[in-house]
Structure 1
Amino acid sequence: MLEQITQWIEHTNNEFTPQRQSCYQLMDNFTDFYPTAFLDNAYFVVIDTLPKPDFPELRQLGLGTFIDMDAAGITYNNTYYLQPHVATNLRVHFHELVHVAQWQHLGIAQFIARYMQEIQSVGYMDAPLEKMAYALDNHFSLDGAPFDVPRYVAQHL
Structure 2
Amino acid sequence: MLEQIENWIDATNLKYSSQKVRCDKFSNEFYGFYSSEFLKNAYYVVVDQIPKPDFAGLREMGLGDFVDMDAAGITYKNTYYLLPEVAKDLRVHFHELVHVAQWLKLGPDAFMMRYISEIQHVGYNDAPLEKMAYALDTQFASKGNKIDVLRHVAQTL
Report the counterpart of residue 46 of structure 2 in structure 1: 46
Structure 1 stretches lacking a partner, 5+ long: none
Shift of 1:48: 0.6
Report the counterpart of residue 129 of structure 2 in structure 1: 129
Letter in 1 for 2:108: I
Letter in 1 for 2:22: S
Letter in 2 for 1:105: K
Aligned with 1:75: secondary structure?
strand
Residue by residue over 1:6-28, the C-alpha shift from the partner in whole angstroms, topping out at 9 and shown as x without a partner, is 11011100110000100000111
Report the counterpart of residue 153 of structure 1 in structure 2: 153
Per the normalisation by structure 2, the TM-score is 0.99
Aligned with 2:11: secondary structure?
helix
Residue by residue over 1:70-112, the C-alpha shift from the partner in whole angstroms, topping out at 9 and shown as x without a partner, is 1110000000000000000000000000000000000001100
Q: Distance in 2 between matches of 1:71 and 1:53?
A: 13
Q: Distance in 1 between matches of 2:23 and 2:58?
A: 30
Report the counterpart of residue 58 of structure 2 in structure 1: 58
Per the normalisation by structure 1, the TM-score is 0.99
Instruction: Tell me the C-alpha RMSD between the 2 structures.
Output: 0.4
Matches of residues 13-92 of structure 1 in structure 2 within 5 Å? 13-92=13-92
Aligned with 1:100: secondary structure?
helix
Q: Distance in 2 between matches of 1:50 and 1:135?
A: 23
Shift of 1:147: 1.7
Aligned with 1:71: secondary structure?
coil
Q: Which runs of 4+ in 1 moved over 2 A?
A: none
Q: Distance in 2 between matches of 1:142 and 1:155?
A: 22
Shift of 1:144: 1.1
- % of aligned pairs identical? 61
Report the counterpart of residue 140 of structure 1 in structure 2: 140
Structure 2 stretches lacking a partner, 5+ long: none
Shift of 1:116: 0.2
Q: Distance in 1 between matches of 2:59 and 2:34?
A: 35
Report the counterpart of residue 107 of structure 1 in structure 2: 107
Pairs aligned (count): 157
